[in-house]
């Protein structure tokens, strides 16, 4: 198994090109199931999760052609995917594939909408919490689906097709919003989703559906009004920049000190996180397509945060921010309100010398003068990258095991950091 080795202490300086967003690319790839026409997606990041989802989609009958342009680390351009689901040849999404990536459960709505029936394995538990799917199922039932759970599979039927309706989510869910939005695109008549998630990735999917011929009002708001169509057309769409990758590198620069410009990204996608970072003493300067993060010698000030659905502070940046706070000049408090068990990084940060105490959903971090390199491992994507940030700050050598978590969601992580002066390398083998 590959490992990442980091020699900490280098300041970061230079430019980092930001990739297309994993969490937009995944539902956009799934949107290809909605039409027999070609969907072209530009700026698709080259990630393990994208490759795994493509295996699942191929199984359903999606054809893929790729033309990628990679003109060098400074001008990275993601790959262009041409997807065509002329026929859905298999309406079952099997356990072996769905259990490996939760987002693959989102094929449920689109296959049901197009084929009027589907069997999709329940996604199961996950390292960051129990993560139920009740909201997905209730939403699709409101559109007329008849849903049973049989042998670990969701068996959904809508013999006459789905019919638009009002769906009021009792709780904000990114995945349930995607699932119902994608299904509503092919439902008869109007669907209104209330208390929809407002994450920018939902807006990106909605914009793509509009290009495919669906009328949608309220994009970016918590009420989406969708006029379903009998058939969707092909479209060309560019995946929006990855706000979590952007925030991760911004926090890395705030952590090590230095001066880095993140290119091909937008501050409005993560304003709350950038404002939080500014309160820690980092200087943030933005243009419409770049963000410059600078910290030259100033202390890291302690700042407390609570994770919230968009536009609040994202749960997907909680671990990275905690890594930064381990070296703050005082005590900060981080409360995780989205997932009940998203603190797997805490004990690993402690191995590097951090002082963190836990109480329920709240971590209290007392900043220390230095972190010290050690062997660590993590059990999810964002936790792993928080250890990279900690390793960049620590004295000496840090080895991060189970690197496959990082490959799920960060494109060319080592290359991007090395180009800015970090001493980080991948060691292959066991
Ligand atoms: C998406 O997961 C993201 N995944 C996650 O990113 C992200 O952390 C999360 O949204 C929150 O922003 C992708 O986009 C692929 P939710 P999702 O449904 O859709 C509860 C990463 O690292 N809930 O918004 O699974 C749930 O348990 C990943 O890139 C129900 O109770 O998250 C949680 O407490 C990790 N019933 C809360 O809602 C349901 O039916 C929010 O979950 C569904 C969810």
The helix/strand/coil state of 32 is helix
Same domain (yes/no): 173, 195: yes
Q: Return the percentage of the chain with pLDDT > 70, whole number.
A: 96
Predicted pLDDT of residue 365: 98
CB burial of residue 166 (10 Å; 0-12, 13-18, 19+):
exposed
Report the residue among 53, 173, 361 best suited for mutation to probe ligand 1: largest number of ligand atoms under 8 A from its CB: 173
Report the residue among 174, 180, 248 best suited for mutation to probe ligand 1: largest number of ligand atoms under 8 A from its CB: 174
Determine if ligand 1 sits within 6 Å of the CB of residue 53: no
Same domain (yes/no): 316, 187: no
Residue 183 lies in a domain: yes
Residue 234 lies in a domain: no
Beta bridge pairs of residue 155: 119, 148
Query: Of 202, 226, 250, at which residue does a domain stop?
Result: 226
Same domain (yes/no): 121, 170: yes
Same domain (yes/no): 382, 273: yes
Report pTM.
0.97
Query: Residue 136 Cα, ligand 1 centroid: separation in angstroms?
Result: 11
Residue 231 lies in a domain: no
The helix/strand/coil state of 125 is coil
* Range in 22-36, 125-139, 305-319 with the lowest mean pLDDT: 125-139
Same domain (yes/no): 108, 40: yes
Same domain (yes/no): 192, 277: no
Predicted pLDDT of residue 131: 74
* Atom of ligand 1 lying closest to residue 174 CA: 24
Same domain (yes/no): 152, 78: yes
Pick from 306, 238, 314, 300: nearest CA to 270: 314
Same domain (yes/no): 252, 396: yes
Structural domains in the chain (count): 2
283-287: strand order across its sheet: 12-17, 258-263, 290-295, 283-287
Residue 233 lies in a domain: no
Distance CA 344, CA 41 (A): 34
Active-site entry in 88, 97, 122, 126: 126
> Which structural domain, as residue segments, surrounds residue 216?
22-226
Query: Of 226, 254, 279, at which residue does a domain stop?
Result: 226
Is residue 126 pLDDT above 60, yes or no?
no
Same domain (yes/no): 41, 11: no
Query: Of 226, 250, 285, at which residue does a domain stop?
Result: 226
Residue 85 lies in a domain: yes
Angle at 358 between CA 356 and CA 363, to 5 degrees: 70
Same domain (yes/no): 308, 381: yes
The enclosing domain of 343 has a CATH number of 3.65.10.10
* Atom of ligand 1 lying closest to residue 133 CA: 40
Catalytic residue flag (residue 126): yes
Average pLDDT, the chain: 94
**pLDDT per position as a tens digit, 95-113:** 999 988 899 999 999 999 9
Residue 74's pLDDT band (cuts 50, 70, 90): very low
Residue pointed to by tokens 């039409």? 35
Residue 209 lies in a domain: yes
Residue 111 lies in a domain: yes
Angle at 299 between CA 294 and CA 302, to 5 degrees: 105
**133 token code pair:** 């799917």
Beta carbons of 180 and 144 less than 8 angstroms apart:
no
Residue 367 vs residue 131, higher pLDDT: 367
**pLDDT per position as a tens digit, 352-385:** 999 999 999 999 999 999 999 999 997 889 999 9
Same domain (yes/no): 172, 277: no
* Range in 235-239, 241-245, 401-405 with the lowest mean pLDDT: 401-405
Same domain (yes/no): 388, 335: yes
Residue 159 lies in a domain: yes
**149 token code pair:** 């759970």
Distance CA 237, CA 244 (A): 20
């Amino acid at each position: 198994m590959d490992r990442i080795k980091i020699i900490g202490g280098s300041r970061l300086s230079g430019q980092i090109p930001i990739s297309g967003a994993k969490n937009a690319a995944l539902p956009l790839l799934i949107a290809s199931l909605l039409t027999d026409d070609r969907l072209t997606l530009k700026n698709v990041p080259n990630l393990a999760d994208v490759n795994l989802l493509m295996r699942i989609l191929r199984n359903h009958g999606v054809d893929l052609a790729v033309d990628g342009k990679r003109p060098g680390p400074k001008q990275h351009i993601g790959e262009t995917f041409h997807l065509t689901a002329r026929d859905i040849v298999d309406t079952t999404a099997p356990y072996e594939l769905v259990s490996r990536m939760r987002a693959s459960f989102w094929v449920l709505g689109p296959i049901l909408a197009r084929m009027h029936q589907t069997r999709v394995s329940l996604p199961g538990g996950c390292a960051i919490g129990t993560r139920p799917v009740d909201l997905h199922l209730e939403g699709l039932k409101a559109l007329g689906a008849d849903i049973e759970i049989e042998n670990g599979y969701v068996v959904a039927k809508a013999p006459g097709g789905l019919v638009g309706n009002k769906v009021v989510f009792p709780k904000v869910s990114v995945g349930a919003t995607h699932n119902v939005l994608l299904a509503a695109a092919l439902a008869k008549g109007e669907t209104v989703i209330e208390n929809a998630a407002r994450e920018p990735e939902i807006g990106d999917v909605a914009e793509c559906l509009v290009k495919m011929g669906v009328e949608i009002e309220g994009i970016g708001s918590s009420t989406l009004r969708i006029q379903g169509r009998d058939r969707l057309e092909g479209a060309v769409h560019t995946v929006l920049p990855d706000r979590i990758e952007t925030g991760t590198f911004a926090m890395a620069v705030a952590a090590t000190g230095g001066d880095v410009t993140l290119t091909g990204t937008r501050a409005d996608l993560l304003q709350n996180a950038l404002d939080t970072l500014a309160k820690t003493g980092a200087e943030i300067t933005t243009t419409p397509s770049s963000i410059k993060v600078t910290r030259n010698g100033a202390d890291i000030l302690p700042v407390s945060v609570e994770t919230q659905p968009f536009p609040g502070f994202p749960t997907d940046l909680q671990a990275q921010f905690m890594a930064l706070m381990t070296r703050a000049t005082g005590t900060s408090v981080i409360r995780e309100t989205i997932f009940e068990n998203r603190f797997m990084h805490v004990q690993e940060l402690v191995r590097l010398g951090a002082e963190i105490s836990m109480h329920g959903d709240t971590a209290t971090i007392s900043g220390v003068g230095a972190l010290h390199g050690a062997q660590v491992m993590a059990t999810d994507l964002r936790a792993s990258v928080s250890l990279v940030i900690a390793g960049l700050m620590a004295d000496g050598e840090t080895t991060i095991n189970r690197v496959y978590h990082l490959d799920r969601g960060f494109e060319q992580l080592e290359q991007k950091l090395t180009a800015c002066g970090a001493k980080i390398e991948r060691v292959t083998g066991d």
